[in-house]
Homo-oligomer: A and B are copies of this chain.
């Protein structure tokens, strides 16, 4: 098919009539499909059912060092969990705190702590007139929700295939002391599936922020979440790079097993420098006596070691790879060459990012919803839900069944075609 922009008015009107007809057929099917959130599907959850057998009443719930995991204590996590998660994060166990079930909670608490107590002796952010964060956009809506909740001004920074626009990042952080942080999803980014280039990581490690309490919030949510054995993304380890650059305290790095075992019942962690750890542990020891060590032990016993976890991630990939491919096949089949949308082709992570023509994203999501397919709300991937060109839609292929997903993707492309055709016709 020709690109829409090359069609005559008559051709485009014919095309619009055809896809509207298709849309009506879908509406009659009374669909209830959900491509909105990055949730694992049932088959993925089933992969971790063995974890429910890792501990039972005849098993000794003690650590290698003799700690009884059933009792109080061990604020920073049991040693064997630090080793496992350290291997997962490519960090030394000595740089790690194991938390509860949610890395988002760890990030929220990091911002909250900086608000009330400051970072490493600097002024608490709540005492400052203005606190700003850089927000590579499109990005993760729940990151932006945290900074918005704390009244932190969010400055969008364009994302490229290599990561955030580092010229802009360097310029801004070096000049403005009010800029205290940046949200990063460095590998298989949410929503694009981009992985930061070596140069990007290197430039992050060498940042010279005006604010002494500037921190990179490095959410390595998809560190081992590859779709393929070949073509895996490798990025330099940020703590090591910061240390080499003489900036050891520059980064808070987050990860969890939420999309490895069970979301909500995994373990989350923070890796950072000894200075930052000491600062954080002062607060953490006021906040809790310790996190769930039995669940830490359960993870360790289930996986054995990192090779067990890597093998486990292959099984996840086998379940969700066909889903990513089904969506991409559908986009290719129905949209390629039409000049009305672009989309990413991730090698890992949980999302595909779709860019419509300007001013079409909201309407596409709205049309899909009317026909029973729920997408992430348009705009959600931008700070303040404000996508300035109204182009970005996050597509989450993991949760629906393959059959449902094919249907949903098909309908989505129909919505894109209708909205785009209407848009172009309106200018003819």
Chain A contact residues, CB within 8 Å of chain B: 37, 39-40, 42, 45, 48-50, 52-53, 55-57, 59, 61, 68-73, 100-102, 104-105, 108-109, 112, 115-117, 124, 126-127, 142, 145-146, 149-150, 258, 262-265, 283, 286-295
Contacts and interface: CB of A to CB of B under 8 A. Distances in A.
Contacts of A263: 70-72, 289
B72 A264 contact: yes
B262 A108 contact: no
A301 to B, nearest CB: 11
B100 A292 contact: yes
Q: From A102, A258, A293, name the one whose CB has the most chain B CB atoms within 10 angstroms.
A: A102
Give this chain's copy count.
2
A289 B266 CA distance: 12
A292 B258 CA distance: 11
A124 B142 CA distance: 23
Given A53-B56, A56-B52, A265 B295 contact: yes
29 contacts: A39-B71, A42-B68, A45-B71, A48-B70, A49-B57, A52-B55, A52-B61, A53-B57, A69-B264, A70-B265, A71-B263, A72-B258, A100-B101, A102-B288, A104-B287, A108-B288, A109-B287, A115-B116, A116-B126, A124-B126, A142-B286, A145-B286, A262-B294, A263-B289, A264-B290, A264-B293, A264-B294, A265-B294, A295-B295
B291 A101 contact: yes
A222 to B, nearest CB: 15
Nearest to A267: B292
Rank and list the top 7 A-B pairs by shortest CB-CB distance, nearest first.
Answer: A265-B294, A49-B57, A70-B262, A72-B263, A108-B287, A45-B70, A105-B288
Contacts of A52: 55-57, 59, 61
Contacts of A101: 100, 288, 291-292
Contact of A264 (B70, B126, B258, B287): B70
A146 B289 contact: no
A126 B113 CA distance: 12
A71 B262 contact: yes
Given A101-B292, A105-B288, A264-B292, 18 more contacts: A39-B71, A40-B71, A42-B68, A45-B70, A48-B70, A69-B265, A70-B264, A72-B264, A101-B288, A112-B116, A116-B150, A124-B126, A126-B127, A142-B286, A142-B289, A145-B286, A149-B286, A264-B294
Contacts of A56: 52-53, 56
Q: From A48, A50, A102, A288, name the one whose CB has the most chain B CB atoms within 10 angstroms.
A: A288
Nearest to A149: B286
B293 A149 contact: no
Contacts of A116: 112, 115-116, 126, 150
Contacts of A69: 262, 264-265
A290 to B, nearest CB: 5
Contacts of A283: 149
A264 B289 contact: yes
A425 to B, nearest CB: 41
A286 B152 CA distance: 14
A146 B39 CA distance: 35
Contacts of A50: 57
Contacts of A39: 71-72
Nearest to A109: B287
A411 to B, nearest CB: 24
A105 B115 CA distance: 18
Contacts of A264: 69-73, 289-294
A5 to B, nearest CB: 40
Contacts of A142: 286, 289
A50 B294 CA distance: 14
A324 B108 CA distance: 42
Nearest to A103: B288
Contacts of A115: 116, 126
A286 B146 contact: yes
